[in-house]
Amino acid sequence: MAQHDIEITISKTGEVRVHIKGAKGKSCMDYAKWLTQLIGTVKDQKLTSEYYEPDEKARIKLQQELKESL
Amino acid sequence: MSTVIILAPLIIGSWPAISAAVMAAAVGLGLNVSEKVKEELQESEVTNEQVVEVELENSQVLASQVASGKEMVLTKDGITLRVRRDERGHCKVCAEGKGYSKTELKQFAEEFMQKLTQCFVYHRTITELKNKDFQVINEDVAKDGTIRVHVRRWTD
C-alpha cells in the first residue's frame, strides 16, 4: 500500500498551492494534471527528486482511475 | 516531496454552484443575505448612491434557465452587494452604498470576490478529493485568512 498525501493551500486572494507527496514516478504528474483541470491554470511548477523514482504499475492504475472520473 | 504546483483558479460553474460559494463568502465576511435570489433584475431605486461594478476575473457562470435574470443581494454596514451573471456569462459584483466613496466600494467588492474565489475553490477541490477517497487529515485557517488542507489516501 502506498500513501499519497496532498497539501492544498488557498490564499486569501484565491491563489492555490498544491503539494503532492508520496506519489512516485509519473503518478504525481497524473495528480497534478487532474488537480489543474479541476482548479485552474498553472502559474508555476516544481519537480522534486521523488518524481524521478519509478513506479510504473501504480501510475497506470491511477491514470485509468482518474480518466474514468473525467 | 514530489511536486509543487501554483495555480490561478478558474471560477467555472453553474449558478447553484456559484451561489453556494456566494453564501459561504457572505457568511465568512459577516454579510447579511437580504434576498437570496431575485426573479427579475431591477434598477437601483436610489439615485444618490455611489455604484461600482467589478467583474470576477476568469469566471464563467454556465448558462441555464435558472441563471438568467437572477441575482443575490448581500448587505453590511449600509453597503449593498449584488452578485449576478452578466450578459457574457461572467460573474459580476455591483457595490452601492450611501456615504461611501467609489474607492471604498470597489475595495469592498474586491474583498468579497477574493473570499468568493477562495470558497469556490475550497468546496470544489474538497468535494472532488473526497470523491476520490481522500480523507482530510488536517485543516486550518491561518490568521491572514489562508486555508490549509491536508488530505491522504492509500493505494495498492
Chain A CB contacts of B154 under 8 Å are: 1-4
Chain B CB contacts of A28 under 8 Å are: 2-3
Domain tally, chain A: 1
Domain tally, chain B: 1
Interface pTM, i.e. ipTM? 0.81
Q: Is residue B6 part of a domain?
A: no
Pick from B103, B112, B115: which is nearest to B76 by CA?
A: B112
Chain A CB contacts of B58 under 8 Å are: 40-41
pLDDT tens for each residue of B65-77? 555 567 889 999 9
Structural domain boundaries enclosing A9: 5-69
Check B10 against A28: CB less than 8 A apart: no
Q: What is the pLDDT of residue B15?
A: 84
Structural domain boundaries enclosing B86: 11-39+48-151
Of A2, A14, A28, nearest to B9 by CB-CB distance is A14
User: A53: distance to nearest CA of chain B, Å?
Assistant: 10
pTM assigned to the model: 0.81
Chain A CB contacts of B121 under 8 Å are: 10, 14, 16, 39-40
Residue of B nearest to A13 (CA): B114
Apex B102 CA angle, B97 and B85, nearest 5 = 70
pLDDT tens for each residue of B81-125? 999 888 888 888 999 998 899 999 999 999 999 999 999 999 999
Q: Is residue B2 part of a domain?
A: no
